């Protein structure tokens, strides 16, 4: 890079010009809303959206004392934990299988990508139809096959409905994990396994001492990204139950949407936004650390 | 080799067993062909004897036709309002009979296809194995000629098909006898009624019931014996034997079988919602709301559903989606390519800071900032405009775009650009003429990825867009579902139109995308 060094004196502003459009775009449409939300969370806001003066942490204490706050936080916790955890596990297993050589592997990979490519609201609508009690496809298929004798009510209580929402969440998240892990698996050198076999390693030995350590970066990236996506996921819960009954199936995102646009409690809604933002910041911090560490390794 | 011979013998035995099981009376039927009710009758009185004689005569009539029938009588005693005891005697002539799989093979029922295919599988497996073993029974397995190997594989495949067909056969029969007959009887299905009952008559009563068939099947009861599952077991044993004969190693082939079973299960579960979407999109409204709807495919493909959704503004929504997704893709690329270029090729202060800035922006899906975004859009007067959506989608896809592009650029050696610069191209020139053409696959991948993300975006559009004609398709489809009525067929027809293009696009970039997301992306 001698050339660059020579020109450094007169053209050191050049890279910033190249970055400018991107910085502008992100600043205006990402950073600015963050600032707005922060400001609003400390201000008094009327139902119509008129912004009043500074009120300190009043909005936050309002938000925490909302009747549904506890349920919603617990739901969000379970939602993120179950969807991310199970889809990581399933995605990992599927990736291990898809990494084998077999006939029709390309077709299987193409099929597996379907849920990733489909809009969440469409997926949620389809599952909504499938598990309907009166005419749902699942009941209809099982009845026809003679597996069940009469229709089962798949959504008899809100707890079960929430479990279904998590299941749909897992269904749509698995492909992402599977493909991330798969790309990690494919970069593993085959000779490592061969020498392990020579050393007499079994299936589990190979899994724990070769495969897992080597796909760990891919796995951690996909897990952290997933936590962010799943935490922010809105359409599944909104389409399937709209949080009914009485916010019992809401996650934080759907709850703050309802709070702001239906109940018009804009102050607490903004406070919730900031709380969510802080939670995500922690995830982001962990993520940055992972990425930076990898950067140093390179 | 002795082993070879033993297994071959076992294979033949197992298939003969399968044939024997197919000849067992697997299905037993009980049909009441004649009913006579005699009211105010007490057992033993004059009226009873008269009725009994009449029933006997009728039964004799059936026997002369070749039916094996028994007479059953049930007596119901009741006290009427005046306190007198009355009794009702009902005579039925029941016919009990059994059918084996070969009877199904010869019938014209739908399950006959499965039965015939099963028989064909056994025959094929047997023929292939005999041909494949003709000269090699004495030799070692490893020394098989390619032709023999192929025949033995084919034999295993035929057994596998037989194994899969066994439950299919049972399910088809369950479906036929438990549900389909009932629905025809209750007039819930009209089409093909005559032919259906004629076929059933030929199968159950050898065509002797004639017009009385509908009455006869009214009280039909069916039981299948557990022996039918032995058939599946036989096929499984045959597969194992065939595999053993082909490869000699049974553990490895079992693992292979489990692998395929797992992959098939995953694919079936993944495709199930798409199958539901596809068939529901072409059903009539009545069929979508019918739990007892029997057919896996619509009875009639209603293509007019598509015409109806066209009338209800779906093309407009699709156009909006194309505009939003296309616009944000162009914008994201225009901003992203220079940034990625700078990140890949230049050294400057604050590079790390910018990297952190980009990653931070990626942490926040627009949803958590919904309120801030709608406030911002109000200030910018871009509320309820497609332009606003374009900006938001482009901004939130910047991070991914920069990552993917940077990964691509870093992987390309800068030598060519240096050469172009020496030849007199500026930095811009070398980017446009040299780097971009070479990075085309990565750029297309990024392009499509951003396009799909913007196409599938739902939440921001719900909040920002209030005018119906400006909605993108993901929001537009919600007009078919309201609280009291959901028009599933329209909802899914529109969803289908929204899904097919992006799924095809995604499949096209699948290979590049995954490597970009983790390696190229994380290299950041």
| Neighbouring residues of B439: CB distance < 8 A, sequence distance ≥ 6 | B405, B408, B409, B412
Candidate from A80-84, B294-298, B366-370 with smallest mean pLDDT: B294-298
Interface contact A40-B178, CB threshold 8 A? no
With beta carbons under 8 A apart, name residues in chain A contacting B427: 14
| Contact at CB, A35 and B375, closer than 8 angstroms | no
Which of B367, B378, B490 is best to mutate for the A interface (most A CBs within 10 A)?
Answer: B367
Q: Residue B83: is its pLDDT beyond 70? A: yes
For A176, nearest residue in chain B (alpha carbons): B514
Rounded-to-integer distance, Cα A120 and Cα A234, Å: 9
pLDDT surpasses 50 at A8 = no
What does the pLDDT read at residue A86? 95
Task: Name every residue whose Cβ is closer than 8 Å to that of residue A259 and which is 6 or more positions away in sequence.
Answer: A66, A265, A268, A269, A272
Q: Report the gap between the CA of A74 and the closest CA in chain B (Å).
A: 18
Q: pLDDT at residue A7 above 50? A: no
For residue A137, the chain B residues in CB contact (below 8 A) are: 276, 280
**Can you tell me the mean pLDDT for B322-346?**
90
- Residue B139: per-residue pLDDT: 63
pLDDT of residue A2: 41
* pLDDT on residue A123: 92
Is A29–B463 a contact, with Cβ atoms under 8 angstroms apart? no
Q: pLDDT averaged over chain A?
A: 82
Provide the number of CB pairs (under 8 Å) joining chain A to chain B.
287
pLDDT reported for residue B132: 79
Q: pLDDT, tens digit, for every residue of A242-276? A: 877 878 888 888 888 888 888 878 888 888 888 88
Give mean pLDDT, residues B170-196: 78
Q: What is the mean pLDDT of residues A106-114?
A: 88
Share of chain B above pLDDT 70, in %: 91
Q: Which CATH number applies to A72-297?
A: 1.10.3720.10
Q: What is the mean pLDDT of residues B27-52?
A: 80
* C-alpha torsion angle, residues B509, B510, B512, B514 (rounded to 10): 140
Q: What is the pTM of this model?
A: 0.77
Our CA dihedral for B368, B500, A89, A177, rounded to 10 degrees, sits at -70
Q: Which residues in chain B touch residue A100, judged by CB atoms under 8 angstroms apart?
A: 259
- For chain B, what percent of residues have pLDDT higher than 90? 6
Query: Which among B381, B401, B374 is positioned nearest to B462, based on CA atoms?
Result: B374
Task: For residue range A122-147, list pLDDT tens digits in order.
Answer: 999 999 888 888 788 888 777 766 66
Residue B496, pLDDT > 80, answer: yes
For helices B370-380 and A32-41, what crossing angle results, to 10°? 110
Average pLDDT, stretch B47-64? 84
Beta strands in B141-226 (DSSP E): 221-224
Q: Given an 8 Å threshold on Cβ–Cβ distance, is B260 in contact with A102?
A: yes
Q: How far apart are CA B228 and CA B364, in angstroms?
A: 58
User: In terms of C-beta distances under 8 Å and separation of at least 24 residues, what long-range contacts does B286-291 make, across chains too?
Assistant: B288/A135, B288/B488, B288/B489, B289/A134, B289/A135, B289/B488, B290/A135, B291/A134, B291/A135, B291/A136, B291/A139, B291/A140, B291/A143, B291/A151
Q: Which two tokens stand for residue B33?
A: 């062909």
| Chain A residues close to B505, C-beta within 8 Å | 117
* Whole-Å CA distances, B411 to A38, B219, B255, B447: 40, 75, 39, 18
Question: How are beta strands B69-79 and B85-99 bridged, if at all?
Answer: antiparallel
**Contact check, Cβ <8 Å, A134/B262:** no
Q: Closest by alpha carbon to B350, among A19, A31, A32, A291?
A: A19
- Tell me the per-residue pLDDT of A162-207, one tens digit each, with 9 for 90 and over: 999 999 999 999 998 888 888 888 777 788 888 888 888 778 888 8
Q: Is B432 on the interface with A (CB under 8 A)?
A: no
Please name which of B355, B423, B348 lies closest in space to residue A1, comparing C-alpha atoms: B348
The per-residue b/e assignment along B63-75, b for 16 or more CB within 10 angstroms, e otherwise, is eeeebebeeeeee
* Residues B332, B393: Cα–Cα separation, whole Å: 8
Query: Do the beta carbons of residue B349 and residue A234 sit within 8 Å?
Result: no
First to last CA, chain B: 62
ipTM for the complex? Answer: 0.86
Domains (range + CATH), chain B: 2-16+102-248 (no CATH), 28-99 (no CATH), 309-523 (1.10.3720.10)
Query: What's the confidence (pLDDT) of residue B344?
Result: 83
What does the alpha-carbon distance between residue B440 and residue B448 come to, in Å, rounded to a whole number? 12
Q: Does B428 touch chain A (CB under 8 A)?
A: no
List, for residues B190-226, the tens digit of each pLDDT value. 777 888 888 888 888 877 777 777 777 777 888 777 7
- Give chain B's mean pLDDT: 81
Is the Cα dihedral B54, B57, B59, B62 positive or negative? negative
The helix/strand count (H/E) of chain B reads as 24, 4
Which ranges of A153-265 does DSSP label H, i.e. alpha helix?
158-186, 190-198, 203-206, 212-231, 235-240, 252-261
Give me the numbers of helices (H) and strands (E) for chain A, helices first please.
16, 2
Q: How far, in Å, CA of A42 to CA of A55, rounded?
A: 6
Reported as a single tens digit per residue, the pLDDT across B264-311 is 889 989 999 998 898 888 888 777 776 655 566 676 788 888 888 888
pLDDT for A3 beyond 60? no
- pLDDT exceeds 50 at position B35: yes
pLDDT of residue B1: 53
> Which of B86-90, B341-345, B498-502, B517-521 has the lowest average pLDDT?
B517-521
Selection from A48-52, A111-115, B144-148, B160-164 with the highest mean pLDDT: A111-115
Q: Do B367 and A266 touch (CB under 8 A)?
A: no
Residue B122 buriedness (CB in 10 A; 0-12 / 13-18 / 19+): buried
**pLDDT at residue A51 in the model:** 72
Q: What pLDDT was estimated at residue B523?
A: 34
Q: Which residues contact B45 (CB under 8 A, 6 or more apart)?
A: none
pLDDT interval class at B29 (50, 70, 90): confident
Residues of B with Cβ-Cβ distance to A140 under 8 angstroms = 291-293
What is the structure's pLDDT at A298? 44
Among A113, A91, A108, A84, smallest CA distance to A182 is for A91
For the segment B152-176, the average pLDDT, to the nearest whole number, is 82
Please tell me the distance from the alpha carbon of residue B96 to that of residue B247, in angstroms, as a whole number: 48
Beta bridge partner(s), residue B481: B486
Cβ neighbors of A95 (< 8 A, separation 6 or more) are: A177, A178, A179, A181, A182, A185
- CA–CA distance, B285 with B303 (Å, rounded to integer): 13
Checking if the pLDDT of B145 tops 90, the result is no
Q: Largest Cα–Cα distance in chain A?
A: 82
List phi, psi (to 5°) of B141. -65, -40
Q: Residue A1: what pLDDT? A: 38
CA dihedral A41, A43, A47, A49 (to 10 degrees): -90
**How confident is the model at residue A35, as a pLDDT?**
87
Write out chain B residues lying below 8 Å of A277, CB-based.
Answer: 364, 368-369
- A271 CB-near residues (< 8 Å, 6+ apart): A41, A59, A60, A62, A63
Residue B522 pLDDT > 60 = no
Distances (CA, A) of B135 to B4, B123, B128, B130, B460: 12, 20, 13, 9, 72
């Amino acid at each position: 890079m001698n050339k660059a060094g020579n020109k450094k004196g007169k053209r050191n502003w050049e890279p910033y010009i190249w970055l400018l459009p991107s910085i502008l775009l992100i600043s205006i449409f990402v950073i600015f809303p963050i600032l707005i939300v922060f400001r609003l969370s400390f201000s008094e806001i009327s139902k119509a959206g008129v912004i009043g003066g500074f009120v300190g942490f009043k909005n936050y204490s309002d938000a925490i004392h909302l009747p549904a706050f506890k349920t919603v936080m617990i739901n969000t916790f379970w939602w993120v934990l179950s969807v991310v955890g199970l889809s990581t596990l399933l995605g990992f297993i599927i990736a291990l299988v898809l990494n084998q050589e077999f006939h029709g592997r390309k077709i299987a990979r193409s099929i597996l990508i379907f849920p990733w490519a489909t809009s969440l609201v469409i997926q949620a609508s389809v599952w909504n139809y499938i598990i309907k009690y009166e005419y749902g496809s699942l009941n209809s298929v099982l009845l026809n096959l003679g597996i069940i004798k009469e229709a089962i009510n798949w959504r008899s209580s809100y707890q079960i409905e929430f479990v279904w929402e998590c299941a749909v969440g897992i269904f749509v998240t698995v492909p992402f994990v599977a493909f991330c892990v798969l790309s990690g698996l494919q970069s593993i050198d085959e000779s490592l396994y061969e020498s392990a076999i020579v050393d007499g390693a079994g299936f589990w030995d190979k899994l724990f001492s070769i495969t897992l350590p080597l796909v760990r970066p891919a796995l951690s990236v996909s897990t952290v990204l997933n936590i962010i996506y799943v935490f922010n996921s809105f359409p599944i819960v909104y389409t399937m139950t709209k949080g009914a009954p009485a916010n019992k199936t809401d996650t934080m995102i759907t709850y703050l949407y309802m709070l702001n646009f239906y109940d018009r409690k804009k102050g607490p809604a903004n406070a919730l936004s900031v709380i969510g933002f802080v939670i995500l910041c922690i995830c982001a911090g962990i993520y940055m650390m992972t990425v930076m560490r990898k950067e140093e390794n390179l | 080799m002795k082993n070879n011979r033993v297994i071959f013998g076992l294979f033949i035995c197992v298939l003969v067993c399968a044939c024997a099981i197919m000849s067992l009376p697997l299905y037993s039927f009980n049909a009441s062909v004649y009913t006579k009710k005699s009211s105010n009758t007490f057992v033993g009185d004059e009226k009873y004897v008269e009725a009994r004689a009449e029933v006997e005569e009728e039964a004799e009539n059936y026997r002369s036709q070749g039916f094996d029938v028994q007479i059953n009588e049930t007596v119901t005693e009741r006290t009427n309002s005046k306190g007198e005891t009355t009794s009702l005697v009902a005579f039925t002539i029941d016919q009990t009979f059994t059918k084996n799989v070969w009877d199904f093979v010869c019938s014209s029922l739908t399950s006959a296809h499965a039965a015939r295919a099963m028989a064909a599988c056994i025959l094929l497996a047997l023929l292939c194995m005999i041909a494949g073993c003709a000269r090699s029974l004495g030799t070692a397995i490893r020394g098989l000629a390619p032709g023999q190997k192929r025949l033995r594989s084919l034999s295993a495949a035929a057994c596998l098909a037989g194994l899969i067909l066994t439950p299919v056969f049972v399910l088809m029969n369950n479906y036929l006898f438990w549900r389909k007959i009932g629905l025809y009887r209750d007039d819930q299905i009209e089409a093909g009624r005559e032919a259906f009952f004629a076929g059933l008559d030929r199968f159950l009563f050898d065509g002797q019931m004639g017009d009385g068939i509908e009455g006869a099947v009214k009280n039909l009861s069916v039981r299948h014996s557990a022996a039918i599952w032995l058939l599946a077991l036989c096929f499984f044993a045959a597969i194992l034997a065939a595999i053993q004969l082909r490869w000699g190693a049974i553990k490895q082939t079992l693992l292979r079988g489990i692998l395929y079973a797992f992959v098939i299960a995953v694919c079936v579960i993944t495709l199930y919602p798409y199958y539901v979407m596809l068939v529901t999109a072409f059903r009539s409204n009545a069929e979508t709301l019918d739990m007892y709807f029997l057919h896996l495919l619509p009875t009639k493909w209603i293509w007019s559903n598509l015409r109806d959704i066209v009338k209800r503004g779906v093309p407009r929504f699709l156009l909006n989606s194309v505009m939003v997704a296309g616009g944000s893709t162009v914008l994201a690329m225009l901003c992203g390519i220079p940034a990625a270029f700078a990140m890949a090729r230049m050294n400057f202060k604050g590079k790390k800071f910018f990297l952190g800035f980009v990653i931070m922006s990626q942490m926040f899906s627009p949803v958590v900032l919904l309120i801030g975004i709608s406030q911002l859009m109000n200030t910018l007067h871009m509320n309820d405009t497609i332009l606003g959506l374009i900006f938001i989608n482009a901004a939130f896809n910047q991070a991914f775009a920069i990552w993917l592009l940077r990964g691509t650029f870093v992987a390309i050696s800068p030598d060519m650009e240096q050469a172009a610069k020496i030849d007199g191209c500026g930095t811009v020139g070398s980017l446009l003429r040299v780097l971009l053409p070479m990075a085309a696959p990565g750029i297309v991948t990024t392009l499509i990825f951003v396009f799909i993300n913007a196409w599938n975006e739902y939440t921001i559009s719900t909040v920002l867009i209030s005018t119906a004609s400006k909605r993108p398709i993901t929001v537009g489809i919600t007009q078919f579902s309201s609280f009291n009525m959901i028009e599933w067929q329209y909802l899914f027809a529109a969803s289908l139109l929204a899904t097919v293009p992006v799924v095809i696009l995604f499949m096209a970039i699948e290979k590049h995308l995954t490597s970009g997301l983790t390696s190229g992306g994380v290299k950041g």
